[in-house]
Structures are given as C-alpha cells and as structure tokens.
C-alpha cells in the first residue's frame, strides 16, 4: 500500500488545490478535483469518471489474478475478482489512502458523514482511477493502481476457498482448531434513516482478539470486523 499521502499545492484541503495523489502528479489537476467531487456538491462531479474507473479496476484486477494464480479455473478467478472489487473492499482501499478526508460533498452528505460511507468512498476510488487514466494513459494508470491491490491479492485464501465471506471463514478457522466461536456486538449506530452507519465488534476468546468494523448495515460492519480478526490470526 502506498504510504505517501495526498499532497496539496497550497495550504488547506480544498480539492481544487490538490496536485498529487499517492505519488502520482496530475498534469491536469482539474481531473483530480472532479474525481473527488460528489454529485451532492454540484457539477462537474465524479459519476462519469466512476463509470470508466469501474471498468478499469475490473480489468487491472482480472489481469493481476490471472498472473497470480496460473492454475486457477475461471470460477475461482471470477469469485476472487468479485471479492476484490466489491464496494466494501474498494472503500477499505479508499480509507487506507485517506481519500475521504479530501472529498467534496454537499451540505446534506457532510452532515450525515458521507465521507465515511462505503458507497461514496468506493465510487470516489473508481473515479480517481479513471482520472489517472485520462491524465496519463492506460499503462501509467495500471502502474499506479495495481500496488493498491497487491496486499489484498496476497492475502486471498486459496482458490478453492475464495468467495466465502469473512464471518464464515473466521468460523471455519476457529472450528478447525476446536476453539470458541466469535462474539459480535453492535458498538454504535448513527446517521439519518436513509444513510445509517453501523459499527460492530468481533471478540475472540482464543486467541484473544478484539476488532471493530464499520458499514452501512450491521451485517456489513460485522463482516469488516471479522475480516480484521482474520488478518490478525492468520498473520
């Protein structure tokens, strides 16, 4: 995962002043500004870029998986790609890159914490990919984006286990070792009725692990917490 943060040409976090993201310097900073602008903030916004970025991300990930698993069949590759490009996975990458801190949102989305919502973060990440592609072309875009996914690809379970959700994989890991099943709890719930945000915890007795996750539903939050627990116990 790239460690370099978003850099700003001038003081402040105004998206119109951003010039560089994760080490990539934009020749046309307006593309970056558009990628970071949600439709609630007016035009030009990032919906069209999101459309293009979705196709690019799918292609980059498909190629990476094809090379990573030379003996995997089409079904395993398809399931793995779905895991990597799902909304929560892309939102997780966006959080790692601190993308939410620089989103431009309308007053309503600002009030309801839109910069933390999976759907908005995932869309913005795809829009960002498209902006890089339009700024410098396919090969340069792939060179920037593939390293974002590399840790996720390395962390995938074997091809025959891909597609099982995190809670199922965590349960199977514990049962195979005759250990107690995890306990999930709702930690926090907030936001408006149309944009609820949930935070849930996952607690293991052996090994002693406690993690939390966030999502647009309690189930999604529990899945994120389970995924975090899996990363710890499988490390």
Domains of the chain: 7-157 (1.10.1520.10), 166-234 (3.30.160.20)
Q: Extract the annotated binding site.
A: 50, 123, 126
What pLDDT, on the 0 to 100 scale, is given for residue 47?
A: 97
Count the Cβ atoms, other than its own, within 10 Å of residue 92: 20
Residue with the bigger pLDDT between 8 and 13: it is: 13
The residues that are catalytic are: 54, 126
Q: Extract the annotated binding site for Mg(2+).
A: 50, 123, 126
Please enumerate in sequence order all residues whose Cβ is within 8 A of that of 181, keeping only pairs 6 or more positions apart, or say none: 171, 174, 175
Q: State mean pLDDT over 72-82.
A: 91
pTM above 0.85, yes or no: no
Count the Cβ atoms, other than its own, within 10 Å of residue 180: 11
What pLDDT, on the 0 to 100 scale, is given for residue 12?
A: 32
Q: State mean pLDDT over 28-42.
A: 94
Q: State mean pLDDT over 51-67.
A: 97
Answer whether residue 195 shows pLDDT above 80: no
């Amino acid at each position: 995962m790239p460690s370099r943060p978003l850099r700003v040409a001038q003081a402040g976090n105004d998206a119109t002043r951003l010039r560089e993201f994760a080490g990539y310097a934009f020749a046309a900073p307006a593309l970056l500004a558009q990628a970071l602008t949600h439709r609630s903030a007016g035009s030009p916004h990032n919906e069209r870029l999101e459309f293009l970025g979705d196709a690019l991300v799918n292609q980059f990930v498909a190629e990476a998986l094809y090379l990573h698993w030379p003996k995997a069949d089409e079904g395993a590759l398809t399931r793995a790609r779905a895991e990597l490009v799902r909304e929560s996975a892309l939102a997780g990458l966006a959080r790692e890159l601190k993308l939410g801190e620089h989103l431009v949102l309308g007053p309503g989305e600002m009030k309801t914490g839109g910069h933390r919502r999976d759907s908005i973060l995932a869309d913005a990440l795809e829009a960002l990919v498209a902006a890089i592609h339009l700024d410098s072309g396919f090969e340069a875009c792939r060179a920037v984006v593939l390293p974002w996914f590399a840790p996720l690809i390395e962390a995938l379970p074997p091809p025959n286990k891909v597609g099982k959700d995190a809670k199922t994989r965590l349960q199977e890991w514990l049962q195979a070792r005759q250990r107690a099943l995890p306990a999930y709890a709702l930690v926090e719930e907030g936001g408006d009725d149309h944009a609820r945000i949930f935070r849930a915890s996952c607690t293991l007795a052996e090994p002693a692990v406690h993690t939390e996750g966030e999502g647009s539903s309690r189930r999604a939050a529990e899945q994120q917490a389970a995924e975090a627990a899996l990363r710890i116990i499988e490390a």
